[in-house]
Amino acid sequence: MSADFQQSGAIRSLFATVAGALGATLLALAVSAVDVPRATAAELAKDLFGNKPLPAALPAQSYGFYSKGCFSGGLAIANDGPTWQAMRPSRNRRWGHPTMIALVEKLSRDAVADGWPGLLLGDISQPRGGPMLTGHASHQIGLDADIWFTPMPDRRLSASERESIGAVSMIKKKGLTVDEKVWTPARARLLKRAASYPEVERILVHPGIKKKLCDTVTGDRRWLQKIRPFWGHDSHFHIRIGCQPGSPDCKRQAATNPGDGCDKSLAWWFTEEPWRPNKDPDAPKARDLMTMAALPKACRVVLNAPSPVSEAAVTYSGPGSAVAAAPFVEPDAAGLPATASAFLPTQDMRVPLPQQRPER
């Protein structure tokens, strides 16, 4: 981990504390102001959250758990940057907690410095999180991001290529081990870099990839503790960061077991049990049943909160980018962020406040 990341982490924490305090006040106001809830408890949360084009213009805060929650104050990572390209833009899932977005951008730069050509980004979260219309049980609180194992090409992909190009599986067809024709040590290096950040608690990969790392990583193997075997994740890996400061209602996940995980828990994945066909393949998935009542109460406030002035105002493209809600803000002498934020509704900030959208 580099010193500048540590530094920026401290700055972000400070910002999150300020933003979190404001958020709690705003939320308390918002809860008392809601007289007629627009979303009834019976409405499916995925339909409500899946149709929000922009984030909730409130300070950054995650509510609930990775697979049952939502978040406010989201930022988008730009579709294009010098060291990344976002895939499947039509899904509008480039959103996350500012720390997650900053971390993805940082990983893209560090990966390039390590010799990787750049990142192809998969899904992060919907603008306000929540269950998705399709795919993913988690990714609901802005703290999960999928990164492809396919390297970024040396040209900008067209909009249609970003929708159609498939990620290449690292696993042999009909097998559980890596395909040696596609797996490379550079991919192990990329995972090691992602695991190096203290914010990252887990990285989910196919068990065959975990096994390959167990069999080949020499020297410091402590980072393997964060690499967790899971279904899917053969053509992309999944970064999960911990609950961030300023999110008291974010539910932490259980700590990973100590050790490198190259043990019985990994061996289980190479038995028949985890791959047994689902007894009831037609049973509905959790996301297809989840109503607003199943989510934390604050998610109703998040859903109904105003949007920021524009998508551009909350899109991050790296340090120095003109995003209004920059995740990296230098504190001024008074300890307040010197940079204006679209999420801080104080009068002395230098950007327009988010405007309430007309009610329908």
Residues interacting with Zn ion, by CB under 5 A? Answer: 146, 238
Phi first, then psi, for residue 90 (nearest 5°) are -65, -20
Of the pair 30, 209, the CB lying nearest Zn ion is at 209
Minimum Å distance from CB 112 to Zn ion? 22
Distances (CA, A) of 219 to 197, 214, 224, 274, 280: 18, 12, 11, 31, 45
- DSSP H stretches of helix in the chain: 3-33, 45-49, 98-113, 159-164, 185-195, 207-216, 264-267, 298-304
Taking the CB of residue 215, how many other CB atoms lie within 10 A of it?
10
Of the pair 128, 238, the CB lying nearest Zn ion is at 238
User: CA-CA distance, 334 to 336, in Å (whole number)?
Assistant: 5
Minimum Å distance from CB 233 to Zn ion? 6
User: Token pair for residue 263?
Assistant: 């043990």
Of the pair 125, 315, the CB lying nearest Zn ion is at 125
Of the pair 193, 236, the CB lying nearest Zn ion is at 236
Minimum Å distance from CB 310 to Zn ion? 29
Minimum Å distance from CB 34 to Zn ion? 33
Inter-axis angle of helices 207-216 and 185-195, nearest 10: 100
Minimum Å distance from CB 121 to Zn ion? 12
Of the pair 105, 146, the CB lying nearest Zn ion is at 146
Taking CB positions, which residue lies at the least distance from Zn ion? 238
User: Token pair for residue 51?
Assistant: 């149709």
Of the pair 67, 307, the CB lying nearest Zn ion is at 67
- Tokens 């067809």: give the residue: 173
Minimum Å distance from CB 170 to Zn ion? 14
Of the pair 15, 66, the CB lying nearest Zn ion is at 66
- What is the bridge-based pairing of β-strands 119-121 and 95-96? unpaired
User: Token pair for residue 290?
Assistant: 């989840």
Minimum Å distance from CB 238 to Zn ion? 3
Task: Quickly list DSSP for 285-344.
Answer: PGGGT-BGGGS-THHHHHHHSPPPS-SGGGEE-STT---TT-S---B-TTSSBSS--TT-
- The answer to whether the beta carbons of residues 169 and 187 sit under 8 Å apart is no
- The answer to whether the beta carbons of residues 329 and 337 sit under 8 Å apart is yes
Of the pair 212, 238, the CB lying nearest Zn ion is at 238
Minimum Å distance from CB 328 to Zn ion? 26
